[in-house]
Amino acid sequence: MGLKAVLVWCIWLGLIQYSVGGRVRHYRFDVEYMMRKPDCLEHVVMGINGQFPGPTIRAEVGDTLHIALTNKLFTEGTVIHWHGIRQVGTPWADGTAAISQCAINPGETFHYRFIVDRPGTYFYHGHYGMQRSAGLYGSLIVDLPKGQNEPFHYDDEFNLLLSDLWHTSSHEQEVGLSSLPFKWIGEPQSLLINGRGQFNCSLAAKFINTTLPECQFRGGEECAPQILHVEPNKTYRIRISSTTSLASLNLAISNHKLIVVEADGNYVTPFVVDDMDIYSGESYSVLLRTDQDPKKNYWLSIGVRGRKPNTPQGLTILNYKTISASVFPTSPPPLTPLWNDFERSKAFTKKIIAKMGTPQPPKRSDRTIFLLNTQNRVAGFTKWAINNVSLTLPATPYLGSIKFKLNNAFDQTPPPVTFPQDYDIFNPPVNPNSTIGNGVYKFNLNEVVDVILQNANQLSGNGSEIHPWHLHGHDFWVLGYGEGKFKQGDEKKFNLTHAPLRNTAVIFPYGWTALRFKADNPGVWAFHCHIEPHLHMGMGVIFAEGVHKVGKIPREALNCGLVGKKLVENGHY
């Protein structure tokens, strides 16, 4: 073969590699605190590159994202978790402090490099302390490669990132949660749509019974709503993600139906709703047909569900371009369903089933673990516990300590795989005392695992909360939901034919949720309640699988704790 032919061959190979492997997309993220008025009242928020929320990342399937993250917080560490991205082959890029990596110290830069291997609606957020509550989050959208089409038609799209906002700092919230006496964070002051909301006024003051004045925005005010501009008789895809720290939400658009087509990056069998519940950590795509009177505008509302709401609705406007966006709707915003109408919530959630062609769950599991969520006390402090163990993360990241067999870095005793069968989930715990721990559930590579999440009564009084649980590094099949305590025979009710694939699933009050996943992604992964204060108070567990198969971990991920010391001593750095 001549030189010219060799060059042509090499160029062709390079083109093939580029088309199959995708392109590398570079981002530089500077994480910092800043003064902003997201809900018309000035206070400190956490942002990226001077933006709140952080910049939207957009990529195509197969692309490699390279995000150079510089910590400009001065007094605290930080990390970012890429929520819904499985990090196949790059577990150190999952962005979980003390689990997949060391926290990024002030002034340091950490390079996240990973492949986005599936299309869908995702987001990113801080996973250190309660930095998500401080505002460290943004959207991450993965498109199909050019030339491939979604299994549904739409003319254009919008992206909605939903969040909640407090006027107390995340640091003050953390201190209150860790104090004696315990000080709860309270309900959020505002709900935000794409980082915008209104605290001291209402967009709909003239339509609803409120003491708040009507909002009067000056030019360019950052709390003014981002209006959705649409043309009549078109179909729009609305991508919706919830990065709330506490609030479960309900979303509705006046006079319009919504067709749900995607959940957590997976296609679902389309179904039509008037409104939809969205729990923290979930993402959806819905289709909206602009088939209403084009001489009117319409409200888009979000309101609190699952907790007695003390937070006003978040509002923006769907504007038909045939009239001015300044024309207000002629009727009140949609009413948010009653906060404790859980039957309605269950009915919506159970409509979510896999689209035909979605991989079905394995018919059997290799092992089952039961995780009981309880509110407890540890030395008088209020905590959340799983099987009576409240998670406290170690100083050395699990990924490094397991990879390099540092057996004294965390508790080597496996956590409990079940709870006492006589535990009464309908009443406060007889023994409210718990312990702290940082043990790990270890699975064999490719083992099929069932997880039964069991909800229970709170620490005192009568009540049981909603908990959305998120699994890192995997999607799981949601096999079913049940009332009361899971009992022998309930597994016969599992949905094994059209179980939806999700990365976040809700446990309803006094109920259980059954999940199945395959431990096929070498690494160490968090599994936890996505309500920020609940995780801070210990409501999570750690899964590890096939860590011996993990390749070389970048030096910058493991420069702390015992693993950093060991690698330096052995000359690896």
- Coil, strand, or helix at residue 523? strand
Same domain as 189, residue 135: no
Are 279 and 191 in the same domain?
A: yes
Residues forming beta bridges with residue 341, ordered by sequence position: none
Query: Within this chain, do residues 199 and 338 fall inside the same structural domain, yes or no?
Result: yes
User: Rounded to an integer, what distance in angstroms lies between the CA atom of residue 241 and that of residue 519?
Assistant: 26
| Per-residue b or e along 449-462, where b marks 16 or more CB atoms closer than 10 Å to that residue's CB | bbbbbbbbbebeee
Query: Which residue, 117, 125, 123, 162, is CA-closest to 143?
Result: 117
**Hey, is 349 helix, strand or coil?**
helix
Structure tokens at 559: 């420069």
Helix extents (H) in 137-234: 170-177
- Neighbour tally for 348: CB within 10 Å: 17
Q: Which of 119, 143, 167 is a domain's end point?
A: 143
CATH of the domain at 61: 2.60.40.420
Torsion, Cα of 125, 164, 264, 506 (10° steps): 120
In a domain, 8, yes or no: no
Report yes or no on 299 lying in a domain: yes
Whether 304 and 390 map to the same domain: the answer is no
- Across-strand partners of 302? 251, 314
Closest to 450 measured CA to CA, from 512, 511, 387: 512
179 and 135 in a common domain: no
Residue among 40, 49, 20, 91 at smallest CA distance from 551: 91
Verify that 419 and 500 share a domain, yes or no. Answer: yes
d(C-alpha 353, C-alpha 306), whole Å: 22
* Contact predicate 521/351, CB 8 Å: no
Q: Is residue 4 part of a domain?
A: no
Instruction: Give residue 288's pLDDT.
Output: 98
Cα gap 24→15, rounded to integer Å = 14
Sheet architecture: strand order including 120-126: 57-60, 137-143, 120-126, 80-83
* Domain assignment present for 515: yes
Q: Is residue 151 part of a domain?
A: no
Q: Please, are residues 241 and 280 in contact by the beta-carbon 8 Å criterion?
A: no
For the chain, what is the radius of gyration of the CA atoms?
Answer: 24
- From first to last of its 573 residues, what are the pLDDT tens digits of the chain? 443 333 333 333 333 333 345 899 999 999 999 999 999 999 999 999 999 999 999 999 999 999 999 999 999 999 999 999 999 999 999 999 999 999 999 999 999 999 999 999 999 999 999 999 999 999 999 999 999 999 999 999 999 999 999 999 999 999 999 999 999 999 999 999 999 999 989 999 888 888 889 998 887 789 999 999 999 999 999 999 999 999 999 999 999 999 999 999 999 999 999 999 999 999 999 999 999 999 999 999 999 999 998 999 999 999 999 999 999 999 999 999 999 999 999 999 999 999 999 999 999 999 999 999 999 999 999 999 999 999 999 999 999 999 999 999 999 999 999 999 999 999 999 999 999 999 999 999 999 999 999 999 999 999 999 999 999 999 999 999 999 999 999 999 999 999 999 999 999 999 999 999 999 999 999 999 999 999 999 999 999 999 999 999 999 999 998 876 666 566 554
Question: Does 181 lie in the same domain as 138?
Answer: no
> Token pair for residue 312?
């006003």
Same domain, 258 and 335: yes
Whether 208 and 160 map to the same domain: the answer is yes
- Does 571 map to a domain? no
Q: What is the span of the domain harbouring residue 272?
A: 156-351
Q: What was the pLDDT predicted at 203?
A: 92
Cα–Cα distance, 320 to 230 (Å, whole number): 5
**Same domain for 331 and 383?**
no
Q: Report the domain count for the chain.
A: 3
CB 155 within 8 A of CB 236: yes
Question: Scanning the structure block, which residue is given the tokens 């909301």?
Answer: 197
Q: How many CA atoms lie within 13 A of 71 on its CB side?
A: 21
- Locus of tokens 């003014």: 224
For residues 401 and 380, give the distance between their C-alpha atoms in angstroms, rounded to a whole number.
31
Residue 553, pLDDT score:
95
Q: pTM of this prediction?
A: 0.94
Verify that 65 and 163 share a domain, yes or no. no
Closest CA to 227 of 335, 324, 362: 324
Does one domain contain both 138 and 160? no
- Contact criterion met (CB below 8 Å) for 192 and 164: yes
559 located within any domain: yes
In a domain, 10, yes or no: no
Strands 447-454 and 367-378 come out as: parallel
DSSP β-bridge partners for residue 272: 259
Q: How far is CA 31 from the centre of its chain?
A: 19
